[in-house]
Structure 1
Amino acid sequence: MGHRVVAAGVVAGAVLAAGVTLTAGGVSEDPAEDTRRSVIAAAPGRSGERTALEPPATAQGREQAATAVVDAVGAVVPGSKVGLAVYDRRTHAMVVGAGPDQPFYTASVVKLLIAIDVLRAHDWRMPGGDTGSDLAAMLSASDDGAATRLWDEFGGSAIIGRTAELVGLDATSPPDEPGEWELTRMSPRDIVRTYTYLQQDLPRPARNAVLGTLAHFDATAADGFDQRFGLPTAFGDATVAVKQGWMPVGDDVVLNTTGVVGEDGRFVVALPVVLPGDTDFATARDALTEGARALARALGRD
């Protein structure tokens, strides 16, 4: 994947995010297609049986869990800004949070919003033709060109406004540079709301396609980036769905790990982090993974 260089010095580099395999019915069942895509990766350690996770039982435990996640990231990369939201779909409550309403750059996590808008415009079914190909490529291969074509085709920044209203997002804003979709901002809480919308409110054909896709991802992205950092490494066989994002922006590095973990997709997690700009991506991945491991321990993952 090539770099998208943002004008006016706002971003030096590109949005690079998780690849997932999208078809009209969800995950591809064609072995040749899977071979072509190289590595369709289950989360490290996934065995088909998901570990039972439980939230901290007390307010003090929840606060300690959030502190442990923030401290774990900071121990690897001091000076990192960490956001966190963990939503329990069984109790309908936010169970762990750190700056949950603070907006962060999405990088390619915004592709979830683009996908929702495209599917809405096609009666919640996979479109055909070039639009369908671009939608699949945008998610499965993290194809920035495909994302840009969809962004332009469906109205650019208007996508963010429409989807925010549809999903009920109140800390999400379009990019200041209209063509730079990766500079959309969302709070951790709004990222969680987006996943819960996908799980609970998206009409079934679209839900099956998107969540079936997010349940499988390329271990190595189109640009060679290892996407198994953060949630999939920390939660292993308890991982249900994942969408990652990363990019350099100004004097910072943005790395986001987001997704669904636990039996029946019980917990929705958003862990966006801004790291100092001299942080290399390998170290950044380590930092996010340590933060996710701290969260996994707090939820009872061995």
Structure 2
Amino acid sequence: MRNSLLRRFRYVLVAAPLTLAVGCGAVTAGPPEPVQPAPRAAVEPRNQPGVGPRTTGAAAVERAATEVEPNTIVGAVVLDRASGGRPLAINADRQFRSASLVKLLIAIDALERGADGEDRRRLYQMLELSDDGLASEYWVRGGGPDIVVRTSAELGLTGTMPPEVRGQWGEVLVTPADVVRIYEYILDMPTADRALVVDALASAPRVAADGFDQHFGIPDGLGMRWAIKQGWGNNDLAMVLHSTGLAGRDWRYLVVLLTEHPLGSDWGKSANSVTAAAKALHDLLPKA
């Protein structure tokens, strides 16, 4: 099923009032716009050198990924909430295109601006199934890039940037360190909001709303209880697959694995590389 979905994340803006292009993150509102190719982001992550601290286990995790899919670029951070330590850090401040990870910010923003019962149900579905249509709806309702500006300021995110083109929510730039901060914030949200987000992530089925197998990485590789938000997609520069979330008893670990792959890579092989990295990570985690 995964290999039949090679069109992810090819952002093209089309008609109004709200249209989602094939892939993870292209929406627009207002008058119709001409079809146009996805622009290059202000930062081209593929050309960035490694950024941020590295832990001693970084080489093992990167090696596990690249042995499956050569030329994979890995960015990762793991926070151990029990000790406060970071057993893994790779390119912690490097920017990656978010794909569906931005749905976490969309949900946080919508909940904090006041979501009624129906909105809460739909936000749960957006997170659980990684539903692009609902993400597009709430992106437009929240002011698009304004969501990123508001949440970045509130959460203290330092490397997260809105997309260059207003409707292309999957082109938001994030860093591994910022995604960890997002999960820390979620765990500190009011009880009802925290439960909504975490329960949705813990209920993510193998098959997402668009038919993609979203159990790569943490679910199939880490070997412990999880609550996940995954991301997958491509544009004119690269392909990305991200596996992020909470893991372990009492959500001891906040796990962020962001990966970038050359255009033309096989989706299944690339997903397997993320799973291999998660398996290697398991051996690095302190045992209770």
Q: TM-score, normalised by structure 2?
A: 0.80
Using a 3 Å threshold, how does the CA distance of structure 1 residues 4 and 68 change in structure 2: closer, same or farther?
A: closer
* Contact map agreement 1:245 1:256 (CA 8 A) in 2: yes
Q: Is the 1:243–1:259 contact (alpha carbons within 8 Å) kept by the matching residues of 2?
A: yes
Q: Which residue identity lines up with residue 65 of structure 2 in the other structure? A: V
- The answer (yes or no) to whether the contact 1:13–1:249 under 8 Å persists in 2 is no
Q: Is 1:258 matched with 2:244?
A: yes
Report the CA distance between 1:293 and its aligned residue: 0.5
Of 99, 111, 120 in structure 2, the residue corresponding to residue 119 of structure 1 is: 111
- For residues 7-38 of structure 1, the C-alpha deviation after alignment (integer angstroms, 9 at most, x for no partner) is 49xxx95118xxxxxxxxxxxxxxxxxxxxxx
Distance in 2 between residues matched to 1:197 and 1:282, nearest whole Å: 32
Instruction: Look up the SS of the partner of 1:198 in the other structure.
Output: helix
Distance 1:65 1:13, change over 3 A: farther
Figure out how many residues of one structure are paired with residues of the other and give that number: 247
Larger RCO (alpha carbons 8 Å, 6+ apart): 1
Deviation at 1:284, TM superposition (A): 0.9
Match of 1:159 in 2: 147
**Residues 3 and 105 of structure 1: is their aligned pair in 2 closer, same or farther, counting only changes over 3 Å?**
closer
Q: 1:103 to 1:220 in 2, by over 3 A?
A: same
Which one of the candidate residues 275, 282, 288 is aligned to 1:296?
282
2:17 matches 1:14? no
Report the aligned-residue RMSD: 2.1
Whole-angstrom distance in 2 between the partners of 1:162 and 1:299? 34
**Deviations 1:105-152 (CA, angstroms, capped at 9, x unpaired):** 110011000000000011xxx5234x3454233222222121111011
Q: Is the 8 A contact 2:239 2:261 kept in 1?
A: yes
Q: CA deviation at 1:248?
A: 1.2
Q: Identify unmatched segments of 5+ residues in structure 2.
A: 14-20, 26-53
Name 1:102's counterpart in structure 2: 94
Report the AA paired with residue 97 of structure 1: A
Q: Counterpart of 1:229? A: 216
> Is 1:278 aligned to residue 270 of structure 2?
no
SS at match of 2:143: coil
What are the residue-to-residue correspondences of 1:164-175 with 2, within 5 Å? 164-175=152-163
Equivalent residue number for residue 28 of structure 1:
none
Measured in 2, the distance between the counterparts of 1:169 and 1:93 equals 19
Q: Secondary structure at the match of 2:86?
A: strand
8 A contact 1:160–1:174 mirrored in 2: yes
1:128 equivalent in alignment to 2:117: yes
- What is the deviation of 1:66? 1.1
The answer to whether the 8 Å contact 2:124/2:196 transfers is no
Q: Does 1:269 align with 2:255?
A: yes
2:39 is matched with none
Taking only the aligned residue pairs, the percentage that are identical comes to 37
- Is 1:70 matched with 2:62? yes
Cα pair distance change 1:145/1:13, threshold 3 Å = closer
Deviations 1:29-78 (A, max 9, x none): xxxxxxxxxxxxxxxxxxxxxxxxxxxxxxxxx83311111111111111
Q: Tell whether the 8 Å contact from 1:230 to 1:257 is kept in structure 2 after alignment.
A: yes
Mapped partners of 1:66, 1:87: distance in 2:
14
**Letter of the aligned partner of 2:11 in structure 1?**
V
Look up the match of 1:209: 196
Query: In structure 2, how many angstroms separate the alpha carbons of the residues matched to 1:249 and 1:128?
Result: 35
CA displacement, residues 249-284 of structure 1 (integer Å, 9 cap, x when unaligned): 213110000011122111111110001111111111
